[in-house]
Amino acid sequence: MDARVSSKVKAVLAARGIGKVVKSGESDLVILRDIDLAVMPGEAVAIVGASGSGKSTLLALLAGLDLPSTGSVTLDGEELFALDEDARAALRGRALGFVFQSFQLLPSLDALENAMLPLELAGRRDAESAAKQMLERVGLGERLHHYPKHLSGGEQQRVALARAFVVEPRVLLADEPTGSLDEASGEAVIALMFELNRERGTTLVMVTHDEHLAARCGRIIRLSGGRIVA
């Protein structure tokens, strides 16, 4: 499917005319310009490009974590930037899961508590049982009460995967998910992420510099100079 948005495509995540410009001294620095893309439910899409091409900025805009200078983003049928900050946060909590290079686990919480956190914030009464089940699914059933400092990098990223998938998001956004891991741990985490993507029908949008990893996705969107070039 072409990365350009078609009005006939019912995408779970779509951007139209997205641009991002920031002040740099007395001049403007253009990070992204005229980005159009559409991601269908269940797709696995890689966003690739050299450092500074705007990959992570685009991911943040698709999540509504940053505001664009121009354009719009639609997530699960709702226009993100037509919502106020609280409503955007509620939509993210319902529709998005996140996996970051740096894991973003809370050091004062054990694995189970970290995985429970988004469910507790959503007011789910089954937070503990659902988080435990997901941690068991990612192979950490024996590590529920270990704190991040007592887990390897690969184990921490698996906790992060459990935390992301436990809310059953429509879309999983991953930013260099293996960037902090050794090759073996990274391969195990990626295999698990794609397994969960297929099992649960979750749409995957992943920023990566790894061309081999990108090739495992169904589609690659390539950025250069803040534009989609392929």
Take residue 82 and report the two structure tokens written for it.
């037509």
For residue 195, tell me if it sits in a domain: yes
**pLDDT value at 189 more than 60:** yes
Cα 10 to Cα 40, 63, 96, 185: the distances in Å are 7, 18, 17, 36
Range of the domain at 88: 42-65+84-228
How far is residue 70's CA from residue 32's CA, in Å, rounded to a whole number? 10
Residue 4 lies in a domain: no
Find the CATH number of the domain harbouring 157: 3.40.50.300
Confidence of residue 6 (pLDDT cuts 50, 70, 90): very low
Greater model confidence, 123 or 111: 111
pLDDT by residue (tens digit) across 142-176? 999 999 999 999 999 889 999 998 988 999 999 98
The answer to whether residue 13 sits within a structural domain is no
Q: How far, in Å, CA of 44 to CA of 78, rounded?
A: 21
Q: Worst-scoring range by mean pLDDT, 8-17, 142-151, 159-168, 215-224? A: 8-17
Confidence at 215, pLDDT banded by 50, 70, 90: very high
Residue 32, in any domain of the structure? no
Q: For the chain, what is the domain count?
A: 1
Answer yes or no: is 179 within a domain: yes
Per-residue pLDDT for 57 more than 90? yes
Residue 51 lies in a domain: yes
185 has which bridge partners? none
140 pLDDT above the threshold of 50? yes
Place of tokens 């995540």: 13
Let me know if residue 78 belongs to a domain.
no
In a domain, 143, yes or no: yes
pLDDT at 7: 47
In angstroms, rounded to a whole number, what is the distance separating the alpha carbons of residues 178 and 190? Answer: 7
